[in-house]
Structure 1
Amino acid sequence: MIDTATALQLVLSHGTSKGKTMEVTLNDALGFVLYDDVISPMDMPPFRQSAMDGYAVNANGADWYRLVGEVQAGAAHQPKLATGEAVRIFTGAAVPDSATAVIMQEKVAVNGQQLRLEIPWAPEMNIRPQGEQIKKDAVAMSNGTLIQGAHIGFLAGLGITKVKVRQKPSIAIVVTGNELVSPGTPLPYGKIYESNGAMLQATLNELGYKNTSIVRIADDYEDTKRVLQETISTVDVVVITGGVSVGDYDFVGKALLAIGVEQIFHKVKQKPGKPLFFGRKEGTSIFGLPGNPGAALNCFYIYVYPLLRNFQGAEAVELPSVQVPLLSDYTVNGDRAQFLKAKMHGAGVEILDGQSSAMVRAFGYANALVFLPEDSTKINKGELVKTILLPHQ
């Protein structure tokens, strides 16, 4: 049994090869990882730009100026101001080259064609310099950036319409267990509704991974081998829930080895998620997650999600973490490292009720996981703890 840090390192070092590159339109780039640096084709802003509604003046040190015109946002004309002249100007408009400052409209008095300044002026006041945000030929966005809405807005402002990205992985979710029935059907005694497949597929969709499928397998050794063989040959990543423990009907581990999957590790010294399996076959990464939903989702966030980001070539693959004070005392049960569903708010983090590996309800309220290392015993209120931020919050 290996520790959590070793497990993650093995996942990232033996994981699926990085995805192929492709070109997508900017409108379709959300959630992809940039492959090449994007070079700015222009200065932004492309001209001296007014930062507010007001008056552009060619200041001469006096209080009074003569109004000689107006410059609207988007206007192409460039009035030439003599010393002591001013024009009405609006936010985003091009400031005349002859203007030395823009005075906000609340700080002037206008009488006909006469303008009086009510505050001292300073050179370049309220003027955004040409290229203030970025200069032409500078790197606008670096290779490895996970493209989010703000990135799309920034690149669109530079007139960019297409970017090179890495493909996202195709993912199969394999659900095992004779005790499972589909929601919406009668529930016989001794059975439970299947939820792991829906949970993992929804989580993947939430994180931008749409190329997913769900495969069901009965607790039968030969059937397990056949379906796993077929599934592994068609996708980049296989995520199996259940069947990786040591029960009489847990066939997944044995079936994976029988069809030639290379076992990288099996079992991690952690709670929840001890039975976690990770292996590879013919370029496909295979995870065997525990069947308990709380443990399955925990292992997904800590191990599967970083592999998916690594496949895309992201610069940062692990979930971000911070050191945050614990809001109440907590006594650790067991000698394994623990990932505890938690809510970070205010100045600290609260460990939630419902930490059982069979329970997933608390994940609906959690925005973080508190990580406690193997040697933890009791954590006192106010003590700093490693708090892993969940990606959907």
Structure 2
Amino acid sequence: MISIEEALTKVLNGVAPLGVESIDLMECTGRVLAEPLYAPHDLPPFDNAAMDGYALRVEDTRQATPDTPVSLRIVGEAAAGRGYGAPLQPGEAVLINTGAPVPAHAAAVLPLEQAQVHDQWLIISEPVKPADHIRRKGLDVQAGMKLLEAGTRLQQPHIGLLAALGLTPLKVYRRPRVAIITTGNELLPYDAPLRPDSIRDSNSVMVLQWLRAWGIPCPFRSMAPDELPALTERIEQALSEAEVVLLTGGVSVGRHDLVQAALQQIGAEVVFWRVNIKPGKPLLFARHGNQAIFGLPGNPLAVVVGLYLFVRSYLAAQEGETVERSCFLRARLNTPIHKKESRAEFLTAYLRAEPDGTLSITPTPAQGSSLLGALAQANAFLYLPAGESDYPAGTLVRALPIAPMEGYR
């Protein structure tokens, strides 16, 4: 039995990104860049007005006082998308809208609310400072600047910048496809009437929803009975359609746990079996050439823990993501815990953002690897490292979020 850290190292060892594809910027959120991005031009691409007002030459206002104001003739207008089009001459001013290009030779903008206008003349009663209310070309981004490294997962805050720079299409790594197989003679489809001695398949439905939320395609989903030929056939079919196969159930030591036997028949190499973790001890990881096979225990909470700790990390690496990110948060424990279990333990829990900005976490009243009701009450797992220990209320502990928090949007 190996530690979580050892297991994760083995899962990620030698994993390489899949091929590269070019896709439109509109489809890029959540995808991982396959090459660095550089700015093709300045942003903003020209000097522009930061406020509605009048563009003018600063030198024309140097002698202006309340007693001896300066009058500048208003000769035109610069609007967003339609500039004035001519250099500003001495003694002239141009009405300008926010975002409009500043005319050549104009060095400042006098805000509309500070302006005095009489007929077609702008009356200036004090000097205007150079560059007032002008956003200079390249203020935000300069041409040639590196914007994002290869291996960056594109998120919504990136997209506006890339759109403003016209960066489309983009080269991104292809996403891995995942096949899901749930095992067990007792399983029924989730929408089937309940029968004696049977349960509905919740694992594949649950896993599929998480994969969809992560943008991972799932071309194959099947149930397999506890029969070696049928299970072997399902695994071979799954491997023909996906880079990653995820099995639930059939990985323990009972006579109906046939996953290891099926993997042996298809020539897969079992990298490890059993992890020092609760729930999820019988977790298995295998390779079939360049493909990965995860065998997760059949209990639903063990499935979710394995999915978040190992499967998600593998998928991120295969997508080419190189920016390290911790999946854990620090939170204050609301209730004391006496941990008797020697294995590392994950408890269903409720994570909350408090008004003071800190996080607090409370274990659900019921705990158990099969308790879907407890999972439905939770938005996180509370992680307790291996070894027995007491955790008084107020202890800072690690939390693994699996759903949005109350008090945080």
Common fold: TM-score over 0.5: yes
Amino acid at match of 2:387: D
Name the CA distance, whole Å, in 2 between partners of 1:304 and 1:72: 53
Q: Residue 279 of structure 1 aligns to which amino acid in structure 2?
A: A
Rate the CA distance shift 1:185–1:391 in 2: closer, same or farther, 3 A.
closer
**Secondary structure of the corresponding residue to residue 203 of structure 1:** helix
1:292 aligns with 2:294: no
User: Do residues 186 (structure 1) and 186 (structure 2) align?
Assistant: no
Query: Corresponding residue for 1:273?
Result: 280
1:73 aligned onto 2:80: yes
Any idea what SS the aligned residue of 2:160 has?
helix
Residue 374 of structure 1: aligned partner: 386
Cross-structure match for 1:219: 226
Q: Which has the larger radius of gyration?
A: 2
1:53 aligned residue: 52
Residues 84 and 345 (structure 1), Cα distance of their counterparts in 2 relative to 1, 3 Å cut: farther
Gaps of 5+ in 2: none
Letter in 1 for 2:352: M
User: Is residue 308 of structure 1 aligned with residue 320 of structure 2?
Assistant: no
Aligned to 2:4: 4
CA distance 1:232–1:392, shift in 2 (3 Å):
farther
Contact kept, 8 Å, 1:144 with 1:315, in 2: the verdict is yes
- 2:26 corresponds to which letter in structure 1? N
Determine the structure 2 residue equivalent to 1:27: 26
TM-superposed deviation, 1:280: 0.2
- Displacement of 1:226 in angstroms is 2.5
CA RMSD of aligned residues (A): 2.5
Q: Tell me the residue number matched to 1:130.
A: 137
265-274 vs 344-353, greater mean Cα deviation: 344-353
How many aligned positions are there? Answer: 392
* CA deviation vs aligned residue, 1:342-390 (integer Å, no higher than 9, x gap): 4131212213414422134455564443322113522223322223344
Mapped partners of 1:306, 1:144: distance in 2: 14
Deviation at 1:185, TM superposition (A): 2.0
Residues 303-312 or 182-191, more deviating: 182-191
Q: 2:241 aligns with which of 229, 234, 244?
A: 234
For 2:335 and 2:126, locate their aligned partners in 1 and report how far apart those are by CA, in whole Å: 54
Q: 1:203 to 1:114 in 2, by over 3 A?
A: same
Per-residue deviation, residues 323-344 of structure 1 (Å, max 9, x unmatched): 3333333332411112334413
Q: Report deviation, 1:35.
A: 0.5
Q: What are the Cα deviations for residues 75-109 of structure 1, in whole angstroms up to 9, with x where unaligned?
A: 14344334564332222211223232234434444
2: CA distance between counterparts of 1:241 and 1:261? 17
In 1, Cα distance between equivalents of 2:86 and 2:286: 69
Conservation of the 8 A alpha-carbon contact between 2:77 and 2:83: no
Aligned-pair CA distance for 1:40: 1.6
Residue 34 of structure 1 aligns to a residue whose secondary structure is coil
1:165 aligns with 2:208: no
In structure 2, the residue corresponding to 1:33 is in which secondary structure?
Answer: coil
Farther off after superposition, 77-86 or 239-248: 77-86
Which residue of structure 2 aligns with residue 147 of structure 1?
A: 154
Structure 1 gap segments, 5+ residues each: none
Matches within 5 A, 1:329-368: 329-341=336-348, 342-346=350-354, 347-353=358-364, 354-364=366-376, 366-368=378-380
Distance, in Å, in 2 between the alignment partners of 1:364 and 1:58 is: 66
* Equivalent-residue separation in structure 2 for 1:365 and 1:117 (angstroms): 66
